[in-house]
Structure 1
Amino acid sequence: MQNPEQAYQAIIFDLGAVLIDWNPRYLYRKIFNSEAEVDYFLQQICTFDWNEEQDAGRSLVDATELLIRQHPQFEAEIRAYYGRWKEMLGGEMADSVALLKELKESGKYKLYALTNWSNETFPLALVQYQFLQWFDGIVVSGREKQRKPSPSIFKLLLERYQESPEKSLFIDDNLRNVNAARNVGIDSIHFTSALQLKNELMHKKILN
């Protein structure tokens, strides 16, 4: 039962690198022979910026064909990015998920996820990670055609679930997104580890 007097009523989690271990290197270490080759491919071909356009709603097919036109010599490796995407998923980040479970079982807070994720691949995560069912709502950037750090996606979540920024707390491993949330009035924690998160939640009197 939520208490209107408590400092926070909603806790908003990022997913990747906070609760879910996702890393393209898990796949490309199987494809390339050296870490240097993996580095080159992820820094120059299938880049972070390229991937974020899928998080913002660009189709996987369009994204793949665009890169193949630019780098035809890497066609097989580019097609593997989404053709073998599930191989980029590690396990749940157990210590962080344990904190989420503790928050859920307390019954004191509404729990939400706000994730930069392609709408085409997110259903695979829903099947693989049962704890995603614990959330009261999930906003997926690819579905909304907008992504963090845009202020609009934070406002969309707050409006959709009728939460106030003053009573919300946001947790993300990306400082860019943390600062964006703070700019729209949401108190935020820059996640670096489960232990650090637990200490901050205790400091804020959210966990005992």
Structure 2
Amino acid sequence: MTSPPITAVIFDLGGVLIDWNPRYLYRQLITDEQELDTFLSTVTTSDWNEEQDAGRSLAEGTALLAAQHPQHKELIEHFYGRWSEMLGGAIDGTVQVLTELRASQRYHLYALTNWSAETFPIALAQFEFLHWFEGIVVSGTEKMRKPSPEFYHLLLTRYGVEAQQAVFIDDNLRNIQAAQAIGLHTIHFQTPEQLRTELEALGVLPAAS
């Protein structure tokens, strides 16, 4: 029995199309690399940031963390106060893949992102290619996030996408595994070149001659 054709491509944004990394900011503020590693792994952790991605306000998240780590209050406040300095720019090779998919007019293009509703407008204003998607589902707006199955189903339902006819691209293995569990084709993003190769193998992009 042949698989149904892929008709939709769903992109994660941070780490796939957009280079976002707190180190870009905090290397300006913490010169000792070991001290920087400790701060990012024990204070402004991924788990803490993901609560803002899931809908908690930046003000509340900042206040809670500053109360837990009063000695780092000023550094914590910079996380969202100077958030735009964490944006390293577009990941050009992936943007080129997106450009080719858009030009082919064969696929519906969507994005599913864990991102604060308060900071996402900054990226939307900075990156023109974000306006190429038919729809972007932002965790902070919906108050749910990957890897929750409900978050994936929200996009599929909202845009009438069949899981078996879509490929989902993400750099986080946890999110890839959750997508696989609901029947999506997946690509665990590592580099633009690897992404292109895997899309060619799926027949989504033409194989290089």
TM-score using structure 1 length: 0.97
Q: What is the rounded CA distance, in whole Å, between the counterparts of 2:117 and 2:31 in structure 1?
A: 31
Q: What is the rounded CA distance, in whole Å, between the counterparts of 1:92 and 1:127 in structure 2?
A: 13
Q: What is the rounded CA distance, in whole Å, between the counterparts of 1:179 and 1:69 in structure 2?
A: 35
Matched residue, 1:39: 37
Matched residue, 1:49: 47
Q: What is the rounded CA distance, in whole Å, between the counterparts of 2:58 and 2:100 in structure 1?
A: 36
- 1:137 deviates by 0.3
- Residue identity opposite 2:6 in structure 1: Y
- 1:6 deviates by 6.5
The Cα offsets for residues 74-99 of structure 1, whole Å up to 9 and x where unpaired, read as 11100000000000001100000000
Matched residue, 1:141: 139
Matched residue, 1:72: 70
The Cα offsets for residues 113-152 of structure 1, whole Å up to 9 and x where unpaired, read as 0000000000000001010011010000000000000000
Q: What is the rounded CA distance, in whole Å, between the counterparts of 1:92 and 1:103 in structure 2?
A: 17
Q: What is the rounded CA distance, in whole Å, between the counterparts of 1:92 and 1:182 in structure 2?
A: 27
1:115 equivalenced with 2:106 (yes/no): no
What is the DSSP-based 3-state SS (H/G/I as helix, E as strand, rest coil) of the residue aligned with 2:115?
Answer: coil
Matched residue, 1:185: 183
Select which of 152, 155, 176 maps to 2:153.
155
Query: Which segments of 5 or more consecutive residues in structure 1 lack a partner in the other structure?
Result: none
- Residue identity opposite 1:92 in structure 2: A
Matched residue, 2:173: 175
The Cα offsets for residues 29-81 of structure 1, whole Å up to 9 and x where unpaired, read as 00011111110111011101000000100000000000111111111100000
Select which of 94, 107, 112 maps to 1:96.
94
What is the DSSP-based 3-state SS (H/G/I as helix, E as strand, rest coil) of the residue aligned with 2:28?
Answer: helix
Q: What is the rounded CA distance, in whole Å, between the counterparts of 1:163 and 1:54 in structure 2?
A: 27
Matched residue, 2:24: 26
1:63 equivalenced with 2:67 (yes/no): no
Matched residue, 2:198: 200
Matched residue, 1:131: 129
- Residue identity opposite 1:47 in structure 2: T
Matched residue, 1:12: 10
Which portions of structure 1, spanning 4 or more consecutive aligned residues, are displaced by more than 3 angstroms? none
Count of residues in correspondence between the two structures? 204
- Residue identity opposite 1:62 in structure 2: E
Query: Which segments of 5 or more consecutive residues in structure 2 lack a partner in the other structure?
Result: none
What is the DSSP-based 3-state SS (H/G/I as helix, E as strand, rest coil) of the residue aligned with 1:30?
Answer: coil
Q: What is the rounded CA distance, in whole Å, between the counterparts of 1:6 and 1:122 in structure 2?
A: 34
- Asked if the contact 2:4/2:164 (under 8 Å) is kept, the reply is no
Q: What is the rounded CA distance, in whole Å, between the counterparts of 1:175 and 1:68 in structure 2?
A: 30
Q: What is the rounded CA distance, in whole Å, between the counterparts of 1:33 and 1:148 in structure 2?
A: 33
Q: What is the rounded CA distance, in whole Å, between the counterparts of 1:113 and 1:155 in structure 2?
A: 13
- Residue identity opposite 1:102 in structure 2: E
The sequence identity of aligned pairs, in percent, is 56
